[in-house]
Chain A
Amino acid sequence: MAITVTIDGRTTSVEEGTTILHAARDLGIEIPTLCHNDAVEPYGVCRVCIVEASDGKGRAKVVTSCNYEVWDGLHVQTGSEQIMEARRTILDLLLSAHPNAKPVQDLAAQYGVTEPSYTGDPEDDCILCGLCVRVCDQVVGVSALGFSNRGPARKMVSPFLDPSPTCIGCGSCVYVCPTRCLHIVDEGNKRVLYKQDRKNVFKEFELLPCLSCGRPFLPREQLEYVRKKFKLPRKLAQTCPTCGGPGV
């Protein structure tokens, strides 16, 4: 069933279950996000995508557009004074805590925040958006990453700070990380997954060679996981993409 929703004075018709964020994109209205990626369930934690939602008459309430589903007759203000001020404060807080996180710098600059108000850690670019944790859980399905501690001490870690027994070294977490603070590098027959700098090594993998060219390319854990998951025959998954194999 189609639903009518008005965003910043412009009306559109969208499917039930659409979030404000997507309805706005349909209208070409950009709402900033830091913890959102369409590949995973919305999380609503960075809070920069806040907007004001109302029925057009009563008092508006502040909601996160990434996980708020529209309803018929919904009115949304994406840039009211209250929203702009709160967003600026949130970006200031994020930039203060993570002064070198590139997407935070860029977005904060758009909102006029170039100098953070408080001192943070220039060597901590992880903004705790949870994209790596979610992709590992929801897309890869191995839940190798999580959070430790709470409040300002919260950190994204591998469980118990040990090499995660379930991590397969696929690098999906690195791929979705918006601040590029996760890294995966291949060195000879070794693959290393780490956060920020080499002091935070999450796991090291031994790479198996390509059966055709002999180049190390595949962590054993990944091979086994993929074989099991897709019930692949033994040989199929062991040639590297360069040699025309399906890779993984």
Chain B
Amino acid sequence: MEKIRSIEQLDGLRDRLGLKQGAVTRSLTFCAGTGCRAYGSMDVVEAFRKELKKRGLSRKVAVKTTGCHGFCERGPMVLISPEGIFYEQVAGKDVPEIVEKTILNHEVIDRLLYKDPKTGEPVPKEADIPFYRLQNRLLLGENLLIDPTSIEDYIARGGYRALAKALKQMRPEQIIDEVERSGLRGRGGGGFPTGRKWRSCREAEGEIKYVICNADEGDPGAYMDRSLLEGNPHMILEGMIIGAYAIGAQQGYIYVRNEYPLAVDHASQALKAARRHGFLGEDILGSGFTFDVKITRGGGAFVCGESTALMASLEGRPGEPRAKYVHTVDRGLFDMPTNLNNVESWANIPRIVLDGADSFAKLGTKGSKGTKIFSLVGKINNTGLVEVPMGMRLREIIFDIGGGIPDGKRFKAVQTGGPSGGCLPEERLDLRVDFDELAAAGSMMGSGGMIVMDEDNCMVDVARYFVTFLEEESCGKCTPCREGLRRMKEILTDICEGRGQKDAVEQLERLGRAMKAASLCELGRTAANPVLTTIRYFRDEYEAHITKKKCPAFVCRKLVHYSINPKKCVGCQACARACPAHCISGGKKKVHVIDQDRCIHCGSCFDACKFDAVKRK
């Protein structure tokens, strides 16, 4: 491969690739993101390849594997172009039928289509599925169109055109102006204006400067960054190269957790391909600018997502944060000016440079521009990744795109912003999701996690879960975070197990205030959020646990009491068979009794009884 030296050369290559791809009339696109792979999508892909070969169609029908499409609930999936037909939950056995009917005879197979849960009607085209239709997939949409291991795919979609424009037609300051004017704010959680960060780093004194891509995504249930890096690594890389040019950095790092093997693999392949084409290395695109990127694999500590801890880890020291009174843009990695941005922040850069700040700023709210990717998980029908303009109401995201709560259950809360975000109740569903609104409600944007909870979730138990996670992930360096989380966990455990003291809520609030005010890093400063917001919005649940010793959601086992209603029990023995503690007695067709002393309050009998004879209170 000859290195690309000019815009004309890049345009020429793109046109040639476009012609080549345009020559293929039909194609099958498969999601091969981590979620769909777990569903067995690669087996389906293999089955298609074999079937097409058998029928001599290999040259006429292109098979493309891409990164995550976001509709993880319905995988494995196949998208048939040019018709745009979308089949969900496809298995190997469906393959011959799809080839026969849809590919050869243009027939749609109803059975494999997505059914609108409201109308029950099948939706043949992907574009018409509400989950996709209501989103604005500026970043994620590209995932469907490119094979992440093919730089050609990326170039054919206009990839590296923004880099060429930046290097050849813009001065570094102009790029920074454009990014600043776009209103882009850091997508990793902090929400700091990206352009301003770049400017400070450019103006900082230092012979060597670094840029870092923070791909140490560690929130439970969140995988936005993973899916971008797996699905479109060149977009992130292009953003980094543009950023490095604007800032004046010579070296970049992608810090990605080792638990993301596909992301590591795709990013590594992207680096090699970019070097081959002259997008990385010396004299990039003949501009005289030299820059390269290395991948560093993190060991998986949550706290390493904090910028100073990440840099410490990158240097080979323990991943512990330090005070940021001296900013990392002045003295960061190896004490040199360092600009760190999150995966999604970098991914937005090529578009801003290519289409201009105004086009980006058209979307969003006053203080938060552009789109944001959320990972919508928990008690939600359409589990997956959604990308929406900033300012969309929580209700639209959860009910219109997410399809609401499964099994007709009632929505209780949504936790935004990762483990140290807050839990927002039903009254807050009309909140417009942006950095400032979430913060005002006591939660935060974080990196975009969204965990939906229904009536079966106990909010005290949820708070305990997140505090336990954070206690394990706290580095332990500073007192308020280390000792505060430890005591919060003790208090919450006591509450959940019926030992809650009268002043437990006041104690939690007092600890929360100290942690918020005095912790060293943002992990500690935000760690009390799940506790403080559940107290703020669900205080009655805390009180029920503490004063009445009851768990209203029947989650906290020690507070739930099971018994059998003799009037309803038919003696079917289902509960006795289900009981892991073997503490239910009573023979066939006889009324059963639970031995309360041996009962472990697991609820298996309640779930097993078909006659509504097991009571819980």
A interface with B by C-beta (< 8 Å): 44-48, 50, 62-64, 67-69, 82-83, 85-87, 89-90, 93-94, 96-97, 117-118, 127-128, 146-147, 149-154
Contact = CB atoms under 8 A, between A and B. Distances in A.
Q: Is the interface of A mostly helix, strand, loop or mixed?
A: mixed
Interface stretch (B457-465, B480-488, B606-614): B480-488
A47 B483 contact: no
B153 to A, nearest CB: 42
B490 interface: yes
Most chain A Cβ neighbours within 10 Å, of B325, B472, B475: B325
A128 B480 CA distance: 12
A149 B323 CA distance: 21
Contact of A45 (B303, B490, B511, B520): B520
Most buried by B among A48, A87, A154: A154
B479 A151 contact: no
B513 A93 contact: no
Contact of B476 (A47, A89, A146, A151): A151
A117 B323 contact: no
A47 B518 contact: yes
Contacts of A87: 518
Contacts of A50: 517-518
Interface of B: 301, 303, 318, 322-323, 325, 471-480, 482-487, 490, 507, 510-511, 513-514, 517-520
A67 B323 contact: yes
For A62, A118, A152, which residue has the most chain B Cβ atoms within 10 angstroms? A152
B513 A89 contact: yes
A67 B482 CA distance: 20
Contact of B482 (A64, A83, A152): A152
B514 A45 contact: no
Contacts, number: 105
Contacts of B476: 128, 147, 149-154
Given A97-B486, A127-B479, A152-B474, 9 more contacts: A64-B520, A93-B511, A128-B477, A150-B472, A150-B476, A151-B472, A151-B476, A152-B476, A152-B486
B520 A89 contact: no
A93 B484 contact: yes
Contact of B325 (A69, A117, A150): A69
Contacts of A83: 517
A94 B480 CA distance: 9
A85 B513 CA distance: 9
Given A151-B475, A152-B483, A86 B513 contact: yes
A93 B507 CA distance: 12
B487 A96 contact: yes
A86 B518 contact: yes
The 8 closest A-B pairs by CB, nearest first: A154-B476, A89-B514, A93-B483, A152-B486, A151-B474, A86-B514, A86-B517, A86-B518
Contact of A62 (B325, B484, B510, B518): B518
Contacts of B473: 150-151
Contacts of B318: 146-147
A87 B301 CA distance: 29
B301 A85 contact: no
A41 B482 CA distance: 22
A228 to B, nearest CB: 25
Contact of B483 (A69, A85, A97): A97
A150 B483 contact: no
A178 to B, nearest CB: 14
Contact of A89 (B303, B474, B511): B511
Nearest to A82: B517
Nearest to A69: B325
Contacts of A82: 517
B472 A45 contact: no
A62 B517 contact: yes
Residue with the greatest number of chain A CB neighbours at <10 A, chosen from B301, B471, B486, B519: B486
A54 to B, nearest CB: 14
Contacts of B517: 50, 62, 82-83, 86
A117 B494 CA distance: 15
Nearest to B481: A151
Contacts of B490: 118
8 contacts: A46-B479, A90-B483, A93-B484, A93-B514, A96-B483, A152-B471, A152-B482, A154-B476
Contacts of B519: 47
Given A44-B520, A69-B325, A93-B484, A150 B513 contact: no
A62 B525 CA distance: 11
B520 A93 contact: no
Contacts of B303: 150
Contacts of A45: 477-479, 520
Nearest to B491: A118
A151 B486 contact: yes
B479 A94 contact: yes
A63 B474 CA distance: 20
A69 B478 CA distance: 19
B474 A90 contact: no
B478 A47 contact: yes
Contacts of A44: 322-323, 478, 520
Contacts of A62: 517-518
B235 to A, nearest CB: 34
A90 B480 contact: yes
